[in-house]
Amino acid sequence: MILLSVDASAKSAAVAVTDGEILLAEGFENSGFTHSETLLPLVDATLKKAGKSIDEIDAFAVTNGPGSFTGLRIGCALVKGLAGDKPCYPVPTLSALAYNCIDCEGVVIPMMDARRQQTYTATFAVQEGKISQITEDRAIAVEQLENEILSYLDQGKKVYVPGDGAYLLSEDVAQQVQKPAHPLILGISVAKATQNIDPVSAVELGLRYLRLSQAERERNIKLGGKEQ
């Protein structure tokens, strides 16, 4: 199966074309430009590098959250537009990040910057090339996550922290965790994360938000509700 995998969940963007377990080509962009400017050209360039046309793609994969509200919508909309009636794999963003560390042994705790001293995170165990998720996807305070990381370190486990939110860790905790070779999502990691996911149609492809958008939070506050 020829699979086109896309990530636009944070500031970086990534694309990969795979044939089964074989990586044909991948692309990565972290220039600071918006995904509306870079994502489609990145897909086009990666397809050309792989020697494939869009018609030769059998299925699509895209990270569907959590992450940047705008980035997720751009990535999902692009895949919906390209897929037509072909199957689509909705890949949890944190799972894709965890697959960056598939060759490691220990605990993987991805961190995505959720702003306001919070992080999108989940905990995964990685052993002998297999990943299992221990906790659900969450949006929690960085301080709470640091306590969980320290608990694993106290047990003598190696803790890997990929993701753009790793910089939020205090200096003391940051010095104790492992630095993954690839801190940001790769297209190949999105492809690998599809193995335990059932495909859906492009119409059924949806996004997973763990928090309200900033606009929705501000609206709730104005209406007398609580910020979430």
Q: How does pLDDT run along the chain (228 residues), one tens digit per residue?
A: 999 999 999 999 999 999 999 999 999 999 887 999 999 999 999 999 999 999 999 999 999 999 999 999 999 999 999 999 999 999 999 999 999 999 999 999 999 999 889 999 999 999 999 999 999 999 999 999 999 999 999 999 999 999 999 999 999 999 999 989 999 999 999 999 999 899 999 999 999 988 655 544 444 445 565 555
Give the model's pLDDT for residue 228.
52
The sheet carrying 106-108 orders its strands as 130-133, 124-127, 106-108, 159-160
| DSSP summary character for residue 115 | S
**Residue 103 CA neighbour count, 13 Å, CB half:** 5
Give the model's pLDDT for residue 31.
87
Residue positions counted in the chain: 228
Give the model's pLDDT for residue 222.
57
- CATH superfamily to which 2-94+184-222 belongs: ATPase, nucleotide binding domain (3.30.420.40)
Helix (H, G, I), strand (E, B) or coil at 209: coil
Strands, E, within the chain: which ranges? 2-7, 13-19, 22-29, 59-63, 88-91, 106-108, 111-113, 118-121, 124-127, 130-133, 138-141, 159-160
Q: Answer whether 5's CB lies under 8 Å from 188's CB.
A: yes
Give the model's pLDDT for residue 171.
97
pTM score, whole prediction: 0.91
The structure tokens 């999902």 sit at: 76
Question: Which sequence spans correspond to the domains of the chain?
Answer: 2-94+184-222, 103-174
Q: Answer whether 54's CB lies under 8 Å from 82's CB.
A: yes
Per CATH, domain 103-174 is 3.30.420.200:
yes
Give the model's pLDDT for residue 16.
98
- Nearest alpha carbon to residue 34 among 80, 74, 76, 94: 74
